[in-house]
Every structure is written in structure tokens, then in C-alpha cells.
Amino acid sequence: MLSEVERTVVEILRERGGRATVREVAAELHRRGYSPRMASNAFYYLAIKGVVRRAGKGLYELVGGAEAK
């Protein structure tokens, strides 16, 4: 099960074509009323859950077929 912030991060990634940097997501989280510092933790837990994978330095992408649970 994904937290509210994790679901928001997945939504942001989908809006950006499935790929975004931590900085881009942090900025968008801030615009949506969350602390931008939550981005790193959200990516960490999403990676553990198999929803995203690291695609480069500071870059993450959705794993194919990943759905927000």
C-alpha cells in the first residue's frame, strides 16, 4: 500500500512521462503543499516496493506497469 505522498509522486511521474529527477518532483510536491524534503524518502520507499527504479544520478522512472496501490 502506498502512502499519500508516494501516490502523489507516482502521479507526478506519470504527468512527466514516467521519468523525473528528485529535484523536479520535490518542486512539484512543494507546489502541491507538501514538504519538498519528502521526495527523497518517497523515492526510497517506492524503489523498495518496486514501483520506481533509479535511471541515473537523481533520476527515477516508473517500472513498467506500476500501479499506485
Distance (Å, rounded) from C-alpha 11 to C-alpha 68? 8
Confidence of residue 66 (pLDDT cuts 50, 70, 90): low
33-59 pLDDT, tens digit per residue, is: 999 999 999 999 999 999 999 999 989
Q: Are 18 and 29 in contact (CB under 8 A)?
A: no
**DSSP 8-class letter at 34:** S
Distance (Å, rounded) from C-alpha 5 to C-alpha 25? 11
Closest CA relative to residue 60, chosen from 25, 30, 28: 25
Which contiguous run of DSSP H or E holds residue 61?
Answer: strand 59-62
